[in-house]
Structure 1
Amino acid sequence: MVAPVKTPRSSYRQEQAEATKLRIADAAQSLFAAQGYGATSMDAIARAAGVANRTVYAAVGAKRHILTLICERWLERARAIPLADAVLEEPDPVARLRGAASWITALYATDFDVALILDSALDEDPETRELLRAKLRGRNRIMNRFIASVEPELSLSPADAKAIYRALAATGVYGGLVVESGWSPDRFERWLADTLVSQLLA
Protein backbone atom coordinates (compact mmCIF):
# COMPACT_ATOMS: atom_id res chain seq x y z
CA MET A 1 0.00 0.00 0.00
CA VAL A 2 1.37 3.36 -1.05
CA ALA A 3 1.54 5.87 1.78
CA PRO A 4 -0.21 9.20 1.10
CA VAL A 5 2.05 12.08 0.16
CA LYS A 6 2.13 14.66 2.91
CA THR A 7 2.04 18.33 2.05
CA PRO A 8 5.00 20.16 3.62
CA ARG A 9 3.89 22.38 6.47
CA SER A 10 5.43 25.47 4.81
CA SER A 11 3.47 24.83 1.59
CA TYR A 12 0.26 24.37 3.55
CA ARG A 13 0.83 27.64 5.36
CA GLN A 14 1.49 29.42 2.06
CA GLU A 15 -1.72 28.02 0.63
CA GLN A 16 -3.66 29.14 3.69
CA ALA A 17 -2.11 32.61 3.54
CA GLU A 18 -2.99 32.92 -0.15
CA ALA A 19 -6.54 31.74 0.50
CA THR A 20 -6.88 34.37 3.24
CA LYS A 21 -5.63 37.11 0.90
CA LEU A 22 -8.14 36.13 -1.76
CA ARG A 23 -10.98 35.98 0.77
CA ILE A 24 -10.09 39.48 1.95
CA ALA A 25 -9.93 40.77 -1.65
CA ASP A 26 -13.31 39.24 -2.50
CA ALA A 27 -14.93 40.68 0.63
CA ALA A 28 -13.42 44.11 0.01
CA GLN A 29 -14.49 44.14 -3.64
CA SER A 30 -18.10 43.39 -2.70
CA LEU A 31 -18.09 46.12 -0.06
CA PHE A 32 -16.37 48.68 -2.30
CA ALA A 33 -18.95 48.02 -5.03
CA ALA A 34 -21.92 48.24 -2.65
CA GLN A 35 -20.84 51.04 -0.30
CA GLY A 36 -18.08 52.88 -2.14
CA TYR A 37 -14.34 52.72 -1.56
CA GLY A 38 -14.18 55.69 0.78
CA ALA A 39 -17.13 54.58 2.91
CA THR A 40 -15.77 51.08 3.50
CA SER A 41 -13.72 50.64 6.67
CA MET A 42 -11.01 48.11 7.32
CA ASP A 43 -13.14 46.78 10.19
CA ALA A 44 -15.97 46.09 7.75
CA ILE A 45 -13.60 44.28 5.39
CA ALA A 46 -12.28 42.14 8.24
CA ARG A 47 -15.81 41.22 9.37
CA ALA A 48 -16.92 40.35 5.84
CA ALA A 49 -13.82 38.20 5.30
CA GLY A 50 -14.25 36.49 8.69
CA VAL A 51 -10.82 37.47 9.98
CA ALA A 52 -9.37 39.81 12.60
CA ASN A 53 -8.57 43.40 11.63
CA ARG A 54 -4.86 42.80 12.19
CA THR A 55 -5.01 39.83 9.83
CA VAL A 56 -6.12 42.10 6.99
CA TYR A 57 -3.09 44.34 7.51
CA ALA A 58 -0.74 41.39 7.90
CA ALA A 59 -2.04 39.50 4.87
CA VAL A 60 -2.53 42.36 2.39
CA GLY A 61 -1.80 45.76 3.93
CA ALA A 62 -3.67 49.04 3.94
CA LYS A 63 -6.87 49.62 2.01
CA ARG A 64 -5.05 50.88 -1.09
CA HIS A 65 -3.00 47.66 -1.11
CA ILE A 66 -6.23 45.67 -1.10
CA LEU A 67 -7.38 47.78 -4.05
CA THR A 68 -4.13 46.96 -5.87
CA LEU A 69 -4.70 43.24 -5.31
CA ILE A 70 -8.28 43.54 -6.60
CA CYS A 71 -7.03 45.34 -9.70
CA GLU A 72 -4.27 42.81 -10.37
CA ARG A 73 -6.68 39.89 -10.09
CA TRP A 74 -9.10 41.67 -12.45
CA LEU A 75 -6.40 42.16 -15.10
CA GLU A 76 -5.33 38.53 -14.76
CA ARG A 77 -8.89 37.26 -15.18
CA ALA A 78 -9.37 39.48 -18.22
CA ARG A 79 -6.02 38.32 -19.66
CA ALA A 80 -5.25 41.98 -20.33
CA ILE A 81 -1.56 41.61 -21.22
CA PRO A 82 -1.79 38.47 -23.42
CA LEU A 83 -4.81 39.91 -25.21
CA ALA A 84 -3.02 43.21 -25.87
CA ASP A 85 -0.03 41.34 -27.26
CA ALA A 86 -2.29 39.30 -29.53
CA VAL A 87 -3.99 42.46 -30.83
CA LEU A 88 -0.64 44.07 -31.68
CA GLU A 89 0.45 40.96 -33.58
CA GLU A 90 -2.48 41.31 -36.00
CA PRO A 91 -1.05 42.09 -39.46
CA ASP A 92 -4.10 44.03 -40.64
CA PRO A 93 -4.61 47.56 -39.24
CA VAL A 94 -8.40 47.22 -39.32
CA ALA A 95 -8.12 43.98 -37.31
CA ARG A 96 -5.83 45.74 -34.81
CA LEU A 97 -8.32 48.56 -34.33
CA ARG A 98 -11.14 46.07 -33.88
CA GLY A 99 -8.88 44.27 -31.43
CA ALA A 100 -8.54 47.53 -29.50
CA ALA A 101 -12.32 47.47 -29.07
CA SER A 102 -12.20 43.82 -28.04
CA TRP A 103 -9.50 44.57 -25.45
CA ILE A 104 -11.41 47.28 -23.57
CA THR A 105 -14.62 45.23 -23.78
CA ALA A 106 -12.86 42.22 -22.26
CA LEU A 107 -11.76 44.33 -19.30
CA TYR A 108 -15.23 45.68 -18.61
CA ALA A 109 -17.09 42.44 -19.32
CA THR A 110 -14.81 40.51 -16.95
CA ASP A 111 -15.72 42.65 -13.95
CA PHE A 112 -17.13 46.13 -14.54
CA ASP A 113 -17.50 46.63 -10.78
CA VAL A 114 -13.73 46.94 -10.46
CA ALA A 115 -13.58 49.66 -13.11
CA LEU A 116 -16.25 51.61 -11.22
CA ILE A 117 -14.44 51.11 -7.91
CA LEU A 118 -11.23 52.48 -9.40
CA ASP A 119 -13.08 55.52 -10.73
CA SER A 120 -14.69 56.23 -7.36
CA ALA A 121 -11.41 55.88 -5.48
CA LEU A 122 -9.73 58.66 -7.47
CA ASP A 123 -11.08 61.17 -4.94
CA GLU A 124 -9.32 59.53 -1.99
CA ASP A 125 -6.03 60.27 -0.21
CA PRO A 126 -2.90 61.27 -2.16
CA GLU A 127 -1.32 57.80 -1.94
CA THR A 128 -4.43 56.16 -3.38
CA ARG A 129 -4.73 58.79 -6.10
CA GLU A 130 -1.13 58.25 -7.15
CA LEU A 131 -1.64 54.48 -7.16
CA LEU A 132 -4.68 54.80 -9.41
CA ARG A 133 -3.00 57.32 -11.70
CA ALA A 134 -0.20 54.80 -12.19
CA LYS A 135 -2.76 52.14 -13.11
CA LEU A 136 -4.43 54.59 -15.48
CA ARG A 137 -1.11 55.43 -17.10
CA GLY A 138 -0.50 51.73 -17.65
CA ARG A 139 -3.89 51.32 -19.32
CA ASN A 140 -3.33 54.40 -21.46
CA ARG A 141 0.08 53.17 -22.58
CA ILE A 142 -1.51 50.02 -23.97
CA MET A 143 -4.30 52.02 -25.63
CA ASN A 144 -1.71 54.39 -27.12
CA ARG A 145 0.23 51.43 -28.53
CA PHE A 146 -2.90 50.28 -30.33
CA ILE A 147 -3.30 53.69 -31.96
CA ALA A 148 0.40 54.01 -32.75
CA SER A 149 0.27 50.65 -34.53
CA VAL A 150 -2.21 52.04 -37.08
CA GLU A 151 -0.71 55.54 -37.31
CA PRO A 152 0.07 55.38 -41.07
CA GLU A 153 -3.61 54.65 -41.79
CA LEU A 154 -5.12 57.31 -39.51
CA SER A 155 -7.37 60.00 -40.97
CA LEU A 156 -6.54 62.45 -38.17
CA SER A 157 -3.63 63.20 -35.86
CA PRO A 158 -2.41 60.47 -33.51
CA ALA A 159 -3.17 62.74 -30.54
CA ASP A 160 -6.79 63.17 -31.64
CA ALA A 161 -7.12 59.46 -32.38
CA LYS A 162 -5.88 58.57 -28.88
CA ALA A 163 -8.26 61.08 -27.31
CA ILE A 164 -11.24 59.71 -29.24
CA TYR A 165 -10.38 56.12 -28.31
CA ARG A 166 -10.10 57.00 -24.61
CA ALA A 167 -13.38 58.92 -24.73
CA LEU A 168 -15.29 56.09 -26.40
CA ALA A 169 -13.72 53.55 -24.04
CA ALA A 170 -14.62 55.49 -20.88
CA THR A 171 -16.43 53.61 -18.13
CA GLY A 172 -19.42 55.93 -18.48
CA VAL A 173 -19.94 54.91 -22.10
CA TYR A 174 -19.85 51.19 -21.34
CA GLY A 175 -22.02 51.70 -18.27
CA GLY A 176 -24.58 53.73 -20.18
CA LEU A 177 -24.91 51.29 -23.05
CA VAL A 178 -24.43 47.91 -21.36
CA VAL A 179 -25.50 48.38 -17.74
CA GLU A 180 -28.23 51.00 -18.19
CA SER A 181 -29.48 50.36 -21.74
CA GLY A 182 -29.15 46.59 -21.74
CA TRP A 183 -26.69 46.11 -24.57
CA SER A 184 -24.72 42.88 -24.50
CA PRO A 185 -20.92 43.17 -24.27
CA ASP A 186 -20.74 41.70 -27.80
CA ARG A 187 -22.97 44.45 -29.14
CA PHE A 188 -20.86 47.08 -27.37
CA GLU A 189 -17.70 45.60 -28.85
CA ARG A 190 -19.14 45.63 -32.38
CA TRP A 191 -20.33 49.22 -31.97
CA LEU A 192 -17.00 50.39 -30.59
CA ALA A 193 -15.03 48.57 -33.28
CA ASP A 194 -17.21 49.98 -36.09
CA THR A 195 -16.98 53.47 -34.61
CA LEU A 196 -13.22 53.37 -34.21
CA VAL A 197 -12.70 52.13 -37.76
CA SER A 198 -15.06 54.71 -39.28
CA GLN A 199 -13.77 57.62 -37.19
CA LEU A 200 -10.05 56.96 -37.14
CA LEU A 201 -9.03 55.24 -40.36
CA ALA A 202 -8.68 56.95 -43.70
Structure 2
Amino acid sequence: MADHVKRDYRSALRAAQADDTRRAIVNAAAKLFTADGYGATTIDAIAGASGVSRKTVFSAVGGKVALLKTALDWAVAGDDRPVALSDRPAFQDLFALEDPRRLLREWVRLQVQIAERAVGLFRALEVAAETDGEARELLTTVHRQRLEGAAQIVDRVAELGADGAAVPRDHAVDVAWLAADPVVFDRMVRQRGWATHAFEAWVADALIVQLLRD
Protein backbone atom coordinates (compact mmCIF):
# COMPACT_ATOMS: atom_id res chain seq x y z
CA MET A 1 0.00 0.00 0.00
CA ALA A 2 1.46 3.36 -0.98
CA ASP A 3 2.32 5.81 1.79
CA HIS A 4 -0.22 8.38 0.63
CA VAL A 5 -2.97 5.76 0.66
CA LYS A 6 -2.05 4.80 4.22
CA ARG A 7 -2.08 8.46 5.25
CA ASP A 8 -5.48 9.01 3.65
CA TYR A 9 -6.85 5.92 5.38
CA ARG A 10 -5.51 7.00 8.79
CA SER A 11 -6.83 10.51 8.25
CA ALA A 12 -10.29 9.22 7.34
CA LEU A 13 -10.26 6.89 10.34
CA ARG A 14 -9.33 9.72 12.72
CA ALA A 15 -12.03 11.93 11.25
CA ALA A 16 -14.63 9.18 11.70
CA GLN A 17 -13.52 8.62 15.29
CA ALA A 18 -13.72 12.36 15.98
CA ASP A 19 -17.24 12.46 14.54
CA ASP A 20 -18.28 9.52 16.70
CA THR A 21 -16.86 11.21 19.79
CA ARG A 22 -18.60 14.50 19.01
CA ARG A 23 -21.86 12.67 18.37
CA ALA A 24 -21.61 10.83 21.69
CA ILE A 25 -20.94 14.07 23.55
CA VAL A 26 -23.80 15.98 21.96
CA ASN A 27 -26.26 13.11 22.43
CA ALA A 28 -25.28 12.83 26.10
CA ALA A 29 -25.67 16.58 26.55
CA ALA A 30 -29.09 16.53 24.90
CA LYS A 31 -30.34 13.81 27.24
CA LEU A 32 -29.02 15.59 30.32
CA PHE A 33 -30.33 19.03 29.31
CA THR A 34 -33.75 17.53 28.65
CA ALA A 35 -33.89 15.43 31.81
CA ASP A 36 -32.14 17.70 34.33
CA GLY A 37 -32.32 21.16 32.80
CA TYR A 38 -29.56 23.54 31.79
CA GLY A 39 -28.48 24.70 35.25
CA ALA A 40 -28.16 21.23 36.77
CA THR A 41 -26.24 19.83 33.81
CA THR A 42 -22.48 20.18 34.18
CA ILE A 43 -19.63 19.64 31.76
CA ASP A 44 -18.36 16.91 34.09
CA ALA A 45 -21.71 15.14 33.91
CA ILE A 46 -21.69 15.34 30.11
CA ALA A 47 -18.13 14.04 30.01
CA GLY A 48 -19.01 11.14 32.26
CA ALA A 49 -22.14 10.24 30.32
CA SER A 50 -20.27 10.25 27.01
CA GLY A 51 -17.20 8.44 28.33
CA VAL A 52 -14.67 11.18 27.59
CA SER A 53 -12.66 13.72 29.54
CA ARG A 54 -13.79 17.22 30.39
CA LYS A 55 -11.09 18.55 28.09
CA THR A 56 -12.42 16.47 25.20
CA VAL A 57 -15.90 17.93 25.65
CA PHE A 58 -14.52 21.45 25.22
CA SER A 59 -12.21 20.57 22.33
CA ALA A 60 -14.81 18.52 20.44
CA VAL A 61 -17.81 20.82 20.86
CA GLY A 62 -17.34 23.66 23.34
CA GLY A 63 -18.97 24.96 26.50
CA LYS A 64 -22.53 24.48 27.70
CA VAL A 65 -24.16 26.97 25.33
CA ALA A 66 -22.30 25.50 22.35
CA LEU A 67 -23.42 22.04 23.43
CA LEU A 68 -27.03 23.16 23.78
CA LYS A 69 -26.95 24.92 20.41
CA THR A 70 -25.51 21.90 18.64
CA ALA A 71 -27.96 19.54 20.31
CA LEU A 72 -30.83 21.83 19.37
CA ASP A 73 -29.63 22.16 15.77
CA TRP A 74 -29.44 18.39 15.42
CA ALA A 75 -32.86 17.90 17.02
CA VAL A 76 -34.48 20.43 14.70
CA ALA A 77 -32.86 18.89 11.63
CA GLY A 78 -33.36 15.31 12.76
CA ASP A 79 -29.70 14.38 12.25
CA ASP A 80 -26.18 15.81 12.42
CA ARG A 81 -25.66 16.38 8.70
CA PRO A 82 -24.56 19.96 7.89
CA VAL A 83 -27.52 20.59 5.59
CA ALA A 84 -29.87 23.54 6.05
CA LEU A 85 -33.56 22.78 6.58
CA SER A 86 -34.45 24.62 3.39
CA ASP A 87 -32.15 22.31 1.41
CA ARG A 88 -33.64 19.11 2.78
CA PRO A 89 -36.05 17.08 0.60
CA ALA A 90 -38.99 17.40 3.01
CA PHE A 91 -38.90 21.20 2.86
CA GLN A 92 -38.18 21.33 -0.84
CA ASP A 93 -41.18 19.09 -1.46
CA LEU A 94 -43.23 21.30 0.86
CA PHE A 95 -42.58 24.48 -1.10
CA ALA A 96 -43.32 22.68 -4.35
CA LEU A 97 -46.94 22.13 -3.27
CA GLU A 98 -49.52 24.24 -5.04
CA ASP A 99 -52.55 23.74 -2.79
CA PRO A 100 -52.29 26.32 0.03
CA ARG A 101 -54.34 24.25 2.45
CA ARG A 102 -52.23 21.17 1.90
CA LEU A 103 -49.14 23.37 2.16
CA LEU A 104 -50.18 24.59 5.60
CA ARG A 105 -51.07 21.09 6.80
CA GLU A 106 -47.75 19.67 5.64
CA TRP A 107 -45.86 22.58 7.18
CA VAL A 108 -47.60 22.01 10.50
CA ARG A 109 -46.80 18.30 10.28
CA LEU A 110 -43.09 19.11 9.88
CA GLN A 111 -43.21 21.62 12.75
CA VAL A 112 -44.84 19.05 15.03
CA GLN A 113 -42.13 16.53 14.16
CA ILE A 114 -39.51 19.13 15.06
CA ALA A 115 -41.27 19.91 18.33
CA GLU A 116 -41.41 16.22 19.26
CA ARG A 117 -37.64 15.97 18.85
CA ALA A 118 -36.61 19.32 20.27
CA VAL A 119 -39.15 20.53 22.80
CA GLY A 120 -37.11 19.47 25.84
CA LEU A 121 -34.10 21.37 24.56
CA PHE A 122 -36.19 24.45 23.80
CA ARG A 123 -37.47 24.43 27.36
CA ALA A 124 -33.91 24.09 28.68
CA LEU A 125 -32.85 27.03 26.51
CA GLU A 126 -35.68 29.23 27.73
CA VAL A 127 -34.69 28.61 31.34
CA ALA A 128 -31.01 29.13 30.59
CA ALA A 129 -31.75 32.44 28.87
CA GLU A 130 -33.10 33.86 32.11
CA THR A 131 -29.63 33.93 33.67
CA ASP A 132 -27.08 33.31 30.92
CA GLY A 133 -26.27 36.01 28.38
CA GLU A 134 -25.01 33.61 25.72
CA ALA A 135 -28.12 31.48 26.08
CA ARG A 136 -30.24 34.62 25.79
CA GLU A 137 -28.55 35.47 22.50
CA LEU A 138 -29.12 31.93 21.26
CA LEU A 139 -32.80 32.09 22.20
CA THR A 140 -33.14 35.38 20.31
CA THR A 141 -31.56 33.74 17.26
CA VAL A 142 -33.88 30.74 17.52
CA HIS A 143 -36.94 33.00 17.71
CA ARG A 144 -35.72 35.00 14.71
CA GLN A 145 -35.13 31.87 12.66
CA ARG A 146 -38.61 30.60 13.45
CA LEU A 147 -40.04 33.99 12.45
CA GLU A 148 -38.17 33.82 9.15
CA GLY A 149 -39.55 30.34 8.52
CA ALA A 150 -43.07 31.55 9.30
CA ALA A 151 -42.63 34.45 6.87
CA GLN A 152 -41.52 32.06 4.12
CA ILE A 153 -44.60 29.89 4.50
CA VAL A 154 -46.93 32.89 4.61
CA ASP A 155 -45.33 34.36 1.49
CA ARG A 156 -45.56 31.03 -0.30
CA VAL A 157 -49.27 30.86 0.50
CA ALA A 158 -49.63 34.37 -0.90
CA GLU A 159 -47.75 33.37 -4.06
CA LEU A 160 -50.29 30.64 -4.65
CA GLY A 161 -53.05 33.24 -4.76
CA ALA A 162 -55.08 31.47 -2.14
CA ASP A 163 -58.33 33.48 -2.49
CA GLY A 164 -56.62 36.46 -0.89
CA ALA A 165 -55.18 36.73 2.59
CA ALA A 166 -57.60 36.66 5.51
CA VAL A 167 -55.35 38.92 7.62
CA PRO A 168 -52.48 41.37 6.98
CA ARG A 169 -49.09 39.79 6.29
CA ASP A 170 -47.49 40.84 9.60
CA HIS A 171 -50.42 39.35 11.49
CA ALA A 172 -50.23 36.15 9.45
CA VAL A 173 -46.49 35.80 10.08
CA ASP A 174 -47.00 36.24 13.83
CA VAL A 175 -49.76 33.62 13.86
CA ALA A 176 -47.59 31.13 11.98
CA TRP A 177 -44.63 31.95 14.24
CA LEU A 178 -46.69 31.13 17.32
CA ALA A 179 -48.11 27.97 15.75
CA ALA A 180 -44.56 26.68 15.21
CA ASP A 181 -43.44 27.41 18.78
CA PRO A 182 -42.50 24.12 20.50
CA VAL A 183 -43.78 25.58 23.76
CA VAL A 184 -47.34 25.39 22.40
CA PHE A 185 -46.75 21.69 21.65
CA ASP A 186 -45.35 21.28 25.16
CA ARG A 187 -48.40 22.86 26.76
CA MET A 188 -51.01 20.91 24.85
CA VAL A 189 -49.38 17.51 24.27
CA ARG A 190 -46.98 17.03 27.15
CA GLN A 191 -48.85 18.95 29.84
CA ARG A 192 -52.50 18.63 28.84
CA GLY A 193 -52.21 15.17 27.31
CA TRP A 194 -53.46 15.83 23.80
CA ALA A 195 -52.68 13.17 21.21
CA THR A 196 -50.04 14.42 18.77
CA HIS A 197 -52.30 13.88 15.75
CA ALA A 198 -55.10 15.83 17.43
CA PHE A 199 -52.77 18.71 18.21
CA GLU A 200 -51.45 18.73 14.64
CA ALA A 201 -54.98 18.82 13.18
CA TRP A 202 -56.03 21.60 15.56
CA VAL A 203 -53.06 23.81 14.66
CA ALA A 204 -53.48 23.21 10.93
CA ASP A 205 -57.20 23.95 11.06
CA ALA A 206 -56.55 27.14 13.04
CA LEU A 207 -53.94 28.33 10.54
CA ILE A 208 -56.20 27.66 7.59
CA VAL A 209 -59.00 29.66 9.22
CA GLN A 210 -56.65 32.46 10.22
CA LEU A 211 -54.60 32.76 7.03
CA LEU A 212 -56.97 31.87 4.20
CA ARG A 213 -60.15 33.54 3.06
CA ASP A 214 -62.85 31.14 1.87
TM range (shorter): 0.7 to 0.9
Is the contact between residue 29 and residue 46 of structure 2 (CA under 8 Å) also seen in structure 1? Answer: yes
Is the contact between residue 38 and residue 124 of structure 1 (CA under 8 Å) also seen in structure 2? Answer: no
1:77 paired residue number: 78
Is the contact between residue 150 and residue 173 of structure 2 (CA under 8 Å) also seen in structure 1? Answer: yes
- How far, CA to CA, are the matches of 2:91 and 2:195 in structure 1? 22
Q: TM-score normalized by structure 2?
A: 0.82
- Aligned residue for 2:78, secondary structure, equals helix
2:48 paired residue number: 47
Is the contact between residue 68 and residue 121 of structure 2 (CA under 8 Å) also seen in structure 1? Answer: no
1:3 paired residue number: none
- How far, CA to CA, are the matches of 2:9 and 2:76 in structure 1? 31
1:137 paired residue number: 144
**1:19-75 deviation per Cα after TM superposition (whole angstroms, max 9, x unaligned):** 111111111111111221122221121122121111111111111111122122113
Matched, 1:189 2:204: no
Instruction: Provide closer, same or farther for how the CA distance between residues 57 and 129 of structure 1 changes in structure 2, counting only shifts above 3 A.
Output: same
- How far, CA to CA, are the matches of 1:166 and 1:136 in structure 2? 9
Return the offset for 1:176: 2.3
Q: TM-score normalized by structure 1?
A: 0.86
1:38 paired residue number: 39
User: Which deviates more from structure 2 when the two are superposed, residues 119-128 or residues 190-199?
Assistant: 119-128
1:90 paired residue number: 97
**1:62-115 deviation per Cα after TM superposition (whole angstroms, max 9, x unaligned):** 111111221221132179432333222211222222223122112112343233
User: Which deviates more from structure 2 when the two are superposed, residues 53-62 or residues 9-18?
Assistant: 9-18
Letter in 2 for 1:29: A
Determine which of 164, 171, 182 is the counterpart of 1:171: 182
1:112 paired residue number: 119
Matched, 1:13 2:14: yes
Identical amino acids, percent of aligned pairs: 31
Unaligned 5+ runs, structure 1? 1-5
Letter in 2 for 1:139: R
Is the contact between residue 119 and residue 183 of structure 2 (CA under 8 Å) also seen in structure 1? Answer: no
Is the contact between residue 37 and residue 120 of structure 1 (CA under 8 Å) also seen in structure 2? Answer: yes
Is the contact between residue 147 and residue 174 of structure 2 (CA under 8 Å) also seen in structure 1? Answer: no
RMSD of equivalent CA atoms: 2.3
Letter in 1 for 2:14: R
**1:146-188 deviation per Cα after TM superposition (whole angstroms, max 9, x unaligned):** 0122235211111111222223333332112211233232222
- How far, CA to CA, are the matches of 2:204 and 2:69 in structure 1? 30
Letter in 2 for 1:43: D
Kindly tell me the number of residue pairs found equivalent between the two proteins.
198
Matched, 1:162 2:173: yes
Is the contact between residue 155 and residue 201 of structure 1 (CA under 8 Å) also seen in structure 2? Answer: yes
